Structure formats: structure tokens, C-alpha cells
Structure 1
Amino acid sequence: MSGAAVALRYPAFGASLPPAAAKQQCDAFAQMMDCARTSGAATLVCPRAFPAAIVLAAQRPYLTS
């Protein structure tokens, strides 16, 4: 067995996020995009109203790997 499995556990670079951490990041991104005040399907559609450059710039702090 290699030690690679240990290295790929959250919060190591390249590790997948646990569901709770992913939800927290999604909520923070929605709030940053001013989409948190909507609910349900409207929250999913909200970022689509923005140009791609704005969405890409806003997601930069939330990229994990």
C-alpha cells in the first residue's frame, strides 16, 4: 500500500471535498454572486445571467484543486 491515499484526504491539494465543505463553498459563491437571496431553481439560473468572465473571476477563491 502506498501513502498516496493519505495525501489525497481533505484538505490536501487535489482531494475531493466532503459534502459539508462543498455545500459551504457553494453557499459562499452564491452569496458572492448575489444569488443567495433567491431559492430553489432560481439560485441555479442566477449565475447564468452573468458574463463568463465575471463568473470565472468570482469562483477563483473557491477553487480547491
Structure 2
Amino acid sequence: MNALDECHARGFLYKAVGMCNDAKHQVNMCLRAQRLERTKQNREKAFAKRAQVEAAWAEIDANS
């Protein structure tokens, strides 16, 4: 992100002709990797929570 900020600080024309595209692509790939990791963790938590809820309902059904 710092490299992209430095590139943008060089001026509008430098940015407008695509000189910052590589830095922008690297930032996008980094943010994408972080998002995918966060999604993976959220999915794992959701599966665990779902299993816990189903177990609770199974216990309720068994005791009814």
C-alpha cells in the first residue's frame, strides 16, 4: 500500500498513464488473499456452529 501511495504522490499524469498499475495489482492480490483467508475462517466457524446447533436439536428431540 505504501508503494501505491508513493506512486500516486508522483502526480496525476504518472498515475493516469498507468505507471501505478503494478503496485495496484499487488495491493489487490494482497487484499484478495486476506479476504479469502477470512472467508475460510468464517466458513469453518459456521460449520462448527451449525454442528453444535444440530447436536442440541438432536438432544432435544431424543429427550422429548
* Larger radius of gyration between Structure 1 and Structure 2: 2
State TM-score, norm by structure 1. Answer: 0.30
Higher relative contact order (CA 8 A, sep 6+): 1
Which structure: greater helix fraction?
2
